[in-house]
Amino acid sequence: MVVASIDIQGGKVVQLKQGADLVLQRDNVQALACEFDKYGEIAVIDLDAAMGKGDNAALIRAVLPLGECRAGGGVRTVDDAARLVEWGAKKVIIGSTAFRAGGGFCVNHAFLEKVARRIGRERVVVAVDAREGEIVVDGWKTRTGLPLIETAHIVAPLAGELLFTSVENEGMMRGTDMDAVRLLKEAVKQEKDPATLLTVAGGVSAIEEIRAIAEAGADVQLGMALYTGKIALGEAFVESLNWKKCGGMIPVIIQEAKDGQVLMTGYADREAVRETFVRGNVCLHSRTRDALWMKGANSGQTLRLRRLRADCDRDALLAVAEASAGVCHTGAWSCFATEKGLRKESRRTPSASPYLNARAASLTPYVPGEQPRDKACIKLNTNENPYPPPPSVIEAARKAASETLRLYPDPACTELRGAVAARYGLQPENVFAGNGSDEVLAFAFAAFFESKTKSESPAHEEQPVLFPDVSYSFYPVYAALWDVSCETVPLRDDFTLDAAGYLRQNGGVIFPNPNAPTGLALGKTDVTRIIEYQHCIGKVVIVDEAYIDFAAPGLSAVDLVETYPNLLIVRTLSKSAALAGLRVGFALGNEALIDGLCRVRDSFNSYPVDRIAQAAALAAIGEAAYYDTLVRRIIQTRERVSAELAQSGWTVLPSSANFIFIKHKTLPGTTVFQRLRENGILVRHFDRPRIADYLRVTIGSDEETDRFLAIARAAKFP
């Protein structure tokens, strides 16, 4: 295996000669991590922390989730090591602390054993930095008197891997100490325990050295030679493989990046591995034609490379890739399955509990948008407001966080309901408050839509609840939870909602307006037609207006509440009010409908909205002018980004929400999603029929949007 070094000092990637003299530096830390991950693990080292000159913790935390990283620099406690693992490090590199104990220099058995117990021995990498055969510490400045080979033999049982750096050769590109490498490989052999791995760094400057290190049974870490262009990672990877053992043709297992499904197997020679990196698509050697073969070159069914990895003996490869279509020559999705692999939504492991009832065991829960630990990512995947709530709202929450928290909140949310009612020209009896609009919707399914029973008549079975086929993916989850029969009504080819599809016998209707994830709004006339028809057949209509504040004025159905007793409108403070972290939603409807929601609530949890949330929500309702300004700003950004993407050839649906629904002119949605993610932009991709090539992109701040546009227009998206 080839390990690429990312040494960070002062927030930049640097290369130092002899650990002191700056030779070069770069700013693109995260981009380098995404690129290096294709070839092998990445060594991310915080040089400032290692030298006791501050740290780069925030940047390290942002980089670790981007690849298979080993991290080090300044690891002085067990908690330091555990924290790096928590941030996403695959392994932790420990240097000076491993050789300092009791005021002197020796192998710190106690510390290494504690770290191994905490994070696992296989994650522990001990750096045996040596100058002229002697272990050195403190940034290679302090000699310890500990002999390299003998000390490595003592350390080996305590670590999963040793990282050997020939300090006198570090940054000099004049070769490494191969005699020491061979002696170290012998020293780390264990009679009973698993063999300790060995990685070699310092001075490696030629492909021949990589080949020699691999033949000695060790991995290689590249720094200066990589950054100066002396060695290319792709070529280093090729020459690190055990071609002699496999007779020049190495087996390749190809795995789908999204869900881990094995797609196919093949064989590759040196040329195929090289071309895989060059083309960015998996290439193999066709034994039938005895020639290079790029999968999909003729059919278009390409395998976009994410990363290539060798097994422990370096005689087999795992290619993690994104399949643009089915890969098997029979037309099946893979050579091992007829259908596309597991969706993320269905990859939850079923509970093994024998006490779980059949309904719970069969549920496929809703999967929310990714909430990454990587704070450096631009997060445009969960439709959050990019701007903060007003100071008055934050202050109201702070005041509510007082000694009164020992008391239960007002179960009826009396003040909040009164303020909401006044805002929309209704009475408090027309308002229900809940723990986010999701809870309100769940209660509405329980209150107004019939559950199936064994005694129900065939006529009842023919009256399912209706909602759009492309819509909020929580609706089918609620239907399954409450055992409600449901049926989807297809959107038109242009993704607009077809009101006529709801003018038939049914068990009730629910739809978002504007719709999610398309962002398209249904006109007031069609909304009224659906409500009127449902009123005639005695069924409820739930209009989910989570994004209505971003739509054209007058589109809301609020003014129909007093006219139609079967209409329930559900709203949230998560979007336009910038309070997603509070979880407050409400419903507007006839007093009898509100009473029905209260019946369900009080049979489930009579205190759904806590004191702090009620206080902050109440303050937010009184800040209409502030929020109007925020909404206008988001709409302006939405229109700007929509126009610029359309000019660049993207398909952009006309949005009435705080997000846009877009499709690239040539690339599949999975590819675009992953390329944006590799560039630090998180958006939402739904792997479903009709919309698999579309992405939902939240409207962020102008700065976030400009970054997204720059990447979307870049050469990576031709």
Catalytic annotation, residues: 7, 129
Which run of H or E residues covers position 570? strand 567-572
Residue 251: half-sphere exposure toward Cβ, Cα within 13 Å: 8
Under a CB-based contact definition with an 8 Å cutoff, are residues 647 and 705 in contact? no
Between the alpha carbon of residue 461 and those of residues 359, 456, 485, 500, 538, the distances in Å are: 18, 7, 7, 21, 17
3-state secondary structure of 101: strand
Sign of the C-alpha dihedral computed for residues 254, 257, 262 and 263 taken in this order: negative
Q: What does the angle CA 362 – CA 365 – CA 369 come to, to the nearest 5 degrees?
A: 160
Cα 217 from Cα 219, distance rounded (Å): 7
Beta bridge partners, 572, equal: 585
Residue type, 236: A
Nearest Cα neighbor of 152 from 107, 214, 200, 100 is: 107
- Secondary structure (DSSP) of 338-379: SS----GGG-SPPP--TTS-HHHHH-----PPP--S-TTSEE
Under a CB-based contact definition with an 8 Å cutoff, are residues 585 and 437 in contact? yes
* CA 6 to mean position of chain CA atoms: 22
Which run of H or E residues covers position 360? helix 358-362
491: its two tokens: 């959107």
What radius of gyration do the chain's Cα atoms show?
30
Read off the DSSP letter of residue 554: T
3-state secondary structure of 543: strand
Cα 549 from Cα 555, distance rounded (Å): 9
187: its two tokens: 């020293």
Nearest Cα neighbor of 578 from 544, 622, 627 is: 627
Between the alpha carbon of residue 603 and those of residues 326, 466, 596, the distances in Å are: 49, 26, 11
Q: What does the angle CA 513 – CA 543 – CA 642 come to, to the nearest 5 degrees?
A: 10
As separate numbers, helices (DSSP H) first and strands (DSSP E) second, the chain gives 23, 33
Nearest Cα neighbor of 19 from 71, 69, 73 is: 73
Cα 569 from Cα 92, distance rounded (Å): 52
